[in-house]
Amino acid sequence: MFTGGIQQNDLVTDATFASLGLSAPVLAVLSEIGFERPTPIQAGVVPIALAGRDVVGLAQTGSGKTAAFVLPMAERLYEGEGLRGLILCPTRELALQAEAFLQSFGTGDRKLRTACLIGGVKYPPQLEALRRGPDIIVATPGRLLDHVERRTARLDGIEMLVLDEADHMLDLGFLPQINRILDRLPQERQTMMFSATMPLSISRLAQLYMQDPETVDLRPDTRVADGIEQRLYLVEPDDKKKCLLALIDEEPGAVLVFVRRKLDADWACRQLELQGHPVEKIHGDRSQRERVQALSGLRQGEHRILVATDIAARGIDIPVIEHIINYDVPQTVEDYVHRAGRTARGAAGGTVSCIASWTDTEMIKQIEQGIGRRLPRCEVDGVPAYRERKKTIRGRERVRRRLR
Ligand code: AMP
């Protein structure tokens, strides 16, 4: 039995599966496996797919996208009408997961026969599954192409195609195989493509192989408001504290300092107090009353600085905050964006400064990719900047030689 994995309430929508247009037998299976309400990607994709339209779903692993494509297939394909569905996945694990979910429809008049064609396993059981006449093939591109070229699988009856985690398939170098498979499919078909990101290569794939697709975009928001000035201070690890103190002295106004752990918040607060700054802190070990006091104190100007951890700062909305200082680099792009959003509330502008050392290089790169821009490198008086070394071709060649 396929069991549900989404626990948190905020991951599902207020819609019901019935309101998406699913039929009673499919609804019965959903209730049996314990899916009570659709996730956002399911609520977005299912009605479009049931209407027979092409759809691009932009969502992460874990968003419930398997059901978003399996449900319309279970609804539109019937047992014994020949091979009409194809699901292409980048990995064996994803293929097996999609197949397992399809098999939950293995009772009553919704029984669908599947063949799972994945690499790294023996051919005979796959040939046997193909001989039994599947309604749907779930496959990784390489092995499917092998079967097609050996003429053990024919794709000329496919009416519904799913490209699952398309960006991941391209990252793994499957584009040539995908092109060869798609060129063999009937033109007249429905295509559903899922991807966590939308690089140019994915838009091109959609343009080439899909007809007027509707997009359901549930990517996490990685935009930083235009009114926020972003700065990066690259320093030696031992100079981070000096940089923080210099930044606080350099600019007037209310400051929110982000650190990673509760311990770091206690430490940073103490250091700032020792320098004579009026400062408060909020973190997971502080009582609700202490947090409320710390926040209202900042709002009313009783202290100028608030030190916070990410969790404690969720949803903080204090218009007076002019400067956010990331004393510790956030650990995800979403955290960076969320921290940045604590300033420039309403129409006001604001500044976000990131203090980072060479140990943070990889995370800075991810943040810059996520927000789609390079953070301007800045310096503060009295703190020497850490110089980034450009990767030269000769340097890369040296590394390559060492790895050989
Ligand atoms: P997926 O993103 O398709 O890999 O799904 C992630 C996990 O969420 C899987 O364990 C699913 O069983 C579960 N799941 C998907 N949709 C729902 C839903 N509507 N209600 C509860 N769990 C779900």
Residue-wise pLDDT tens digits, 347-387: 567 999 999 999 999 999 989 988 888 999 999 999 999 88
Average pLDDT, the chain: 89
User: Looking at ligand 1, which residue's alpha carbon is closest to its atom 12?
Assistant: 4
CATH code assigned to 228-400: 3.40.50.300
The pLDDT of residue 316: 79
Give me the mean pLDDT over the 333-351 stretch: 81
Return residue ranges of the chain for CATH 3.40.50.300. 2-217, 228-400
pLDDT of residue 10: 47
In the prediction, which pLDDT does 393 show?
55
pLDDT of 394 strictly over 70: no
Distance, in Å, from the CA atom of 104 to the CA atom of 74, rounded to the nearest integer, reads 10
The stretch 197-210 carries a mean pLDDT of: 91
Measured in angstroms, how far is the CA atom of residue 93 from the centroid of ligand 1? 15
Residue 289 has pLDDT above 60, yes or no: yes
Query: Which of 180, 172, 113, 112 has the alpha carbon at shortest distance from 144?
Result: 180
Is the shortest distance between the CB of 33 and ligand 1 below 6 Å?
no
Tokens of 348: 């006001």
Average pLDDT, integer, range 196-214: 92
Find the mean pLDDT for residues 334-345.
Answer: 85
CB atoms within 10 A of CB 331: 13
Question: Contact, 20 vs 43, CB < 8 A?
Answer: yes
What separation in Å is there between the alpha carbon of 5 and the centre of ligand 1?
Answer: 5
**Percentage above 70 pLDDT, the chain:** 91
Segment holding 86, helix H or strand E: strand 85-88
Going from the Cα of 168 to the center of ligand 1, the distance in angstroms, rounded, reads: 19
Dihedral pair phi/psi, residue 267, rounded to 5°? -65, -50
Which pLDDT belongs to residue 348? 66
What 3-state class would DSSP assign to 216? strand
Indicate which residue's Cα is closest to atom 15 of ligand 1.
64
pLDDT at position 400, please?
54
Fold entry, domain 2-217: Rossmann fold (3.40.50)
Give the closest residue (by CA) to ligand 1 atom 10.
5
* Ligand 1 contacts CB of residue 64 (under 6 A): yes
- Ligand 1 near 38 CB (within 6 A): yes
Distance 48 CA to ligand 1 centre (A): 19
Cα 161 versus chain centre, distance: 23
Mutate to test the pocket of ligand 1, among 7, 12, 27, 35 (most ligand atoms within 8 A of CB): 35
The pLDDT tens digits of the residues spanning 40-81 come to 999 999 999 999 999 999 988 888 999 999 999 999 998 888
CA distance 63 to 93: 16
Q: Is the CB of 349 under 6 A from ligand 1?
A: no
Q: How far apart are CA 139 and CA 290, in angstroms?
A: 56
**Residue owning the nearest CA to atom 6 of ligand 1:** 62
Longest Cα–Cα distance of the chain, Å, equals 80
Atom of ligand 1 nearest to the CA of 37: 19
Task: Determine the residue of 29, 32, 37, 39 to mutate for testing ligand 1's pocket, defined as the one with the most ligand atoms within 8 A of the Cβ atom.
Answer: 39
Indicate which residue's Cα is closest to atom 16 of ligand 1: 64
CA-CA-CA-CA torsion for 77, 79, 80, 86, nearest 10 degrees? 50
Would you place residue 401 in the very low, low, confident or very high pLDDT band (cuts 50, 70, 90)?
A: low
CA distances from 70 to 16, 77, 136 (A): 17, 10, 10
pLDDT band at 107 (very low <50, low <70, confident <90, very high): low
pLDDT tens digits along 9-38: 347 888 999 999 999 989 999 999 999 999
From the CA of 52, how far away is ligand 1's center (Å)? 23
- pLDDT score recorded for residue 374: 93
pLDDT in tens, 133-185: 999 999 999 999 999 999 999 999 999 999 999 999 998 999 999 999 999 99
pLDDT bracket for residue 193 (50, 70, 90): very high
**Cα–ligand 1 centroid distance for 138 (angstroms):** 18
Q: Which of 205, 120, 210 is closest to 167 using CA atoms?
A: 205
What string of DSSP letters covers 3-27?
------GGGS-S--SGGGT--HHHH
Half-sphere exposure of 273 (CA within 13 A, CB side): 10
More confident residue, 262 or 6: 262
Indicate the burial class of 62 (C-beta count within 10 angstroms; 0-12, 13-18, 19 or more): exposed
Contact (CB, 8 A) for 237 and 357: yes
pLDDT at residue 8 above 50?
Answer: no
pLDDT at position 92 over 50: yes
Q: How far is the CA of 35 from the centre of ligand 1 (A)?
A: 8
3-state DSSP assignment of residue 333: helix
Q: Indicate if ligand 1 lies below 6 Å from the C-beta of 61.
A: yes
